[in-house]
Copies of this chain bind each other. A is one copy, B any other.
Amino acid sequence: MEVAVIGGDGRIEALARLLDRDGHDVRCYGLERGDLALPRAGSLGEALEGARAVILPLPMGGGEELNAPLAASPIPARALAEAISPDALVLAGKPEGVFAKAAEARGLRVADYFAREELTVKNAAVTAEGALEILMRELPVTLLGAKVLVVGFGRIGKFLALRLHLLGARVTVSARKPEDWAWIQSLGLEPADTGCLAGAVRGFDAVVNTVPAPVLDREILRELDKSCFVLDLASRPGGVDLAAAEELGLRAQWALGLPGKAAPETAGAAIRDTIYHMWKELECSQWKG
């Protein structure tokens, strides 16, 4: 299939390479400063010419210009929307703002691959491994034998807690629902109540938050051992009071956007798989391509 890939970071670059490897006719634009070996389109128009699918960055960016850190020159969002053929399917990560409005005005079909649960799951797995890397780098002890508290038992919490456990850490996972406690225990982990962390956070070598709400506030942070490392993996607004952590002399770090940083190729492959699912489903329904 003819696919235009426009802008984006290392994940989109990896995605372009994988689509090419799978036999698609890939035209790239806005990845000039990466090390992609694919033939590149000389202009936006050339890239879009005849493309049945147009893949935009993650996040695509809601402003005047596309999120395109590897592009030789800025890519105007409005002009892009106006250059895409109404026959093409646009696949964007979190489409919004300038592009989204312009695309809607023109009646373009825009699908959000970032909204797909399977991509969220795979990104959570990459994030969990990225978190392991940070913990290994920051802790003066091995994860083997370390006492680690994971706050939250969503996707990232699940993957991270399991991996920590398999590496030999003594893992406590806090959650709010009895059914989550049942899962935690049934995976061989120690459960705790996120609502009752006060008085229960001593002795940990590391605390990892995954909940995007103010869970690790000053009061809880004050109870941590001074040598405890605090890692926040929650998306904005995060869940750790970083200012309080600094005042208390705790080492703390907020890691955002780990999939793109820790493993861009795996993150790109996850986008590829997601896009394939979307194509397959669209074929069966409204999209006659």
Which A residues lie at the B interface, using CB under 8 A? 10, 14, 116-122, 124-126, 129-130, 132-133, 136-137, 139-145, 159, 162-163, 166-168, 178-179, 181-183, 185-188, 262-266, 269-270, 273-274, 277
How far, in whole Å, are A172 and B185 apart by their CA atoms in the complex? Answer: 19
Q: Contacts of A144 on B, CB cut-off 8 Å?
A: 125-126, 129, 186, 188, 266
Do A178 and B118 touch (CB < 8 A)?
yes
Q: Contacts of A117 on B, CB cut-off 8 Å?
A: 178-179, 182
Q: Contacts of A264 on B, CB cut-off 8 Å?
A: 140
How far, in whole Å, are A124 and B144 apart by their CA atoms in the complex? Answer: 12
How far, in whole Å, are A141 and B86 apart by their CA atoms in the complex? Answer: 35
Query: Quick one: copies of this chain in the complex?
Result: 4
Supply 19 A–B pairs (Cβ within 8 Å), ascending by A.
A117-B178, A118-B182, A121-B183, A121-B186, A122-B186, A125-B142, A125-B144, A126-B142, A126-B144, A129-B136, A129-B143, A129-B144, A129-B167, A130-B136, A133-B137, A137-B137, A140-B266, A144-B188, A145-B185
Q: Contacts of A142 on B, CB cut-off 8 Å?
A: 125-126, 129, 262-263, 266
How far, in whole Å, are A118 and B43 apart by their CA atoms in the complex? Answer: 57
Do B168 and A167 touch (CB < 8 A)?
no
Do B129 and A265 touch (CB < 8 A)?
no
How far, in whole Å, are A167 and B130 apart by their CA atoms in the complex? Answer: 12
Q: Contacts of A14 on B, CB cut-off 8 Å?
A: 140
Do B186 and A124 touch (CB < 8 A)?
yes
How far, in whole Å, are A49 and B265 apart by their CA atoms in the complex? Answer: 59
Given the known A-B contacts A117-B179, A133-B133, are A265 and B140 also in contact in the complex, defined by CB atoms under 8 Å?
A: yes
Q: Contacts of A266 on B, CB cut-off 8 Å?
A: 140-142, 144-145
Q: Contacts of A179 on B, CB cut-off 8 Å?
A: 116-118, 120-121
Q: Contacts of A265 on B, CB cut-off 8 Å?
A: 140-141
Closest B-chain residue to A183, C-beta based?
B121
How far, in whole Å, are A142 and B266 apart by their CA atoms in the complex? Answer: 6
Give the shortest distance, in Å, between A283 (CB) and chain B (any CB): 14
How far, in whole Å, are A269 and B146 apart by their CA atoms in the complex? Answer: 12
Give the shortest distance, in Å, between A35 (CB) and chain B (any CB): 11
Closest B-chain residue to A186, C-beta based?
B125
Q: Contacts of A145 on B, CB cut-off 8 Å?
A: 185, 188, 266
Choice from B167, B270, B273 contacting A166 with Cβ under 8 Å: B167
Give the shortest distance, in Å, between A207 (CB) and chain B (any CB): 17
Q: Contacts of A126 on B, CB cut-off 8 Å?
A: 142, 144
Closest B-chain residue to A181, C-beta based?
B118
Q: Contacts of A129 on B, CB cut-off 8 Å?
A: 136, 142-144, 167
